[in-house]
């Protein structure tokens, strides 16, 4: 929970919007790539061992932390992409969904298998409520989001946010 406190408390240290963009980019060391590294590390542990359970528990905490931080910093991410390139946000968002799908597919514990789609669902609902995720959104955000969301869980469709 220290990581979550540090990330969500970033406003108190005056982190610029560009910092949050880097956290969710495809760059090495980003929060998004951390999810990929965790999924890849699962193969090093037998599915029935305590070590595997602990690694998946850590991954569950990481998914929660990344999702909460993403939502808390959503205004900063959107603002930074307006100044940079509008497609940057869409690319980073889709990359996050892709990595969450990979993590969910690699999971063996019910806890992690449930945490990944739940975190994605929460992000989708908040983004929709804030008007970020809507039909006709820039850079194909609407279409690309749902292609990736359904890869996480078949229930993650536009109907989730009241669209047809």
Which of 159 and 91 is assigned the larger pLDDT?
159
Each residue's pLDDT tens digit, 73-113: 898 888 887 766 667 888 889 989 998 999 899 888 899 99
* Confidence (pLDDT) at 21: 58
DSSP state of 154: T
Nearest residue to 145 (alpha-carbon basis) of 83, 84, 100, 85:
100
Provide CB contacts within 8 A for 55, sequence distance 6+: 38, 41, 42, 45
Which of 12 and 120 is assigned the larger pLDDT?
120
Provide CB contacts within 8 A for 113, sequence distance 6+: 104, 107
Which of 8 and 84 is assigned the larger pLDDT?
84
Handedness of CA 85, 3, 43, 119 (dihedral sign): negative
pTM to 2 decimal places: 0.81
Q: Flag whether pLDDT at 10 surpasses 90.
A: no
Mean pLDDT, residues 111-132 taken together: 96
The span from the CA of 140 to the CA of 143, in Å, is: 6
């Amino acid at each position: 929970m220290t990581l979550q406190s540090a990330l969500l408390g970033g406003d108190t240290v005056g982190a610029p919007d560009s910092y949050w963009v880097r956290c969710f980019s495809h760059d090495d060391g980003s929060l998004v790539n951390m999810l990929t590294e965790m999924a890849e590390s699962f193969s090093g542990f037998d599915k029935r061992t305590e070590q595997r359970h602990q690694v998946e528990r850590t991954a569950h905490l990481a998914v929660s932390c990344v999702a909460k931080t993403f939502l808390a910093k959503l205004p900063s991410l959107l603002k930074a992409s307006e100044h940079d390139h509008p497609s940057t946000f869409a690319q980073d968002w889709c990359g996050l969904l892709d990595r969450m799908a990979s993590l969910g597919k690699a999971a063996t514990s019910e806890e992690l298998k449930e945490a990944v789609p739940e975190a994605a669902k929460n992000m989708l609902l908040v983004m929709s409520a804030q008007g970020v995720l809507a039909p006709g959104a820039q850079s194909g955000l609407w279409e690309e989001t749902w292609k990736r969301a359904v890869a996480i869980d078949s229930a993650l469709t536009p109907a989730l946010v009241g669209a047809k």
